[in-house]
Amino acid sequence: MTIRRIVVNGDDFGRTASINAAIIRAHREGILTSASLMVAEEAFGEAVALAKAHPTLAVGLHLVAATGRAVLPPAQIPHIVDARGRFPDSAVQAGLRYVVSATARQELAREMEAQFARFAATGLPLSHVDGHLHFHVHPVVFNLLVPLAERYGARGLRLPRDDFWLAMRYNRQGAALKATWAVIYALLCRWCLRRLRGRRLTVTDRMYGLMQTGQMEEAYVLQVLHQMPVRTAELYFHPSTVPLEDELGPNPGDLATLLSPAVRQAIQEGGIELASYPKLI
């Protein structure tokens, strides 16, 4: 019998105290195995302290190149952030800027290096790398990211290859938007996989969460666990102890699913192993 292994990840670690608390609780009491750290956000220091107090939690870098805060001061990267040091809220705007402007690409490279360096300065092992809004698979960002990930010792890298048809069987709401995401990310991930040939970074066979981002309900996760046709997968969540303003999370609903006895039972009965990216190698 083929053993199936899943990485269960919490995104936005370090963004707020409520997200930090949810991630630690989901790791201690639930099925969460890893978290992705935002190194420029307000609760970054607390997240690092919590991670060091819970060494069984694998921690990776949640790279930010759009819709978030930069590490470097605005004066050093004025073409990619505003006066407050924030990237554009529009991922499309940021993505186009990186394509058309050589200056923006140079500043992005310095900012990405700074984010990796800040993570390294924590002393935490770098489990994996992914990106806020999956922006790390943007071709410009990805070409800069892969050598940095290898140089800083990352073991894994997220590719957002969700199962569109499984998601449709669960919930057809927003089908047109989900179909658009499926096509765009399928093409980007195919391109990324070609560039990962011969590299040391591990990717999972499938990733679940894109089609239900911020709404990882117990029923959907149970469906994934029962129908998952691959050997390895990442399930990512946006847990929080309190609702945040974002429509798609983080939220207490994702935390409830991570703590669900029914989900844990399905994992045990399905012979599925909980893992992190370093354990997939």
Q: For 160-216, how does the pLDDT look when each residue is reduced to its tens digit (9 = 90+)?
A: 999 999 999 998 988 999 999 999 999 999 999 999 999 999 999 999 999 998 899
Domain ranges in the chain? 4-280
Per-residue HEC secondary structure of the chain comes to: CCCEEEEEEEEEECCCHHHHHHHHHHHHHCCCCEEEECCCCCCHHHHHHHHHHCCCCEEEEEECCCCCECCCCHHHCCCCCCCCCECCCCHHHHHHHHHHCHHHHHHHHHHHHHHHHHHHHCCCCCCEEEEHHHHHHCHHHHHHHHHHHHHCCCCEECCCCCCHHHHHHHCCCCHHHHHHHHHHHHHHHHHHHHHCCCCCCECCCEEECCCCCCCCCHHHHHHHHHHCCCCEEEEEECECCCCCCCCCCCEHHHHHHHCCHHHHHHHHHCCEEEECHHHHC
Please give the average per-residue pLDDT across 47-73, as a whole number.
97
Q: Is the pLDDT reported for residue 53 higher than 90?
A: yes
Q: For 75-110, how does the pLDDT look when each residue is reduced to its tens digit (9 = 90+)?
A: 999 999 999 999 999 999 999 999 999 999 999 999
Alpha-carbon gap, residue 36 to 33, rounded angstroms: 11
Q: Is the pLDDT reported for residue 1 higher than 60?
A: no
Q: For 115-128, how does the pLDDT look when each residue is reduced to its tens digit (9 = 90+)?
A: 999 999 999 999 99
Higher pLDDT, 179 or 1: 179
Residues in CB range of 190: below 8 A, 6 or more apart: none
Give pLDDT, residue 281.
74
Q: Which of 182, 138, 132 is nearest to 162 (CA)?
A: 182
Domain 4-280 = CATH 3.20.20.370: yes
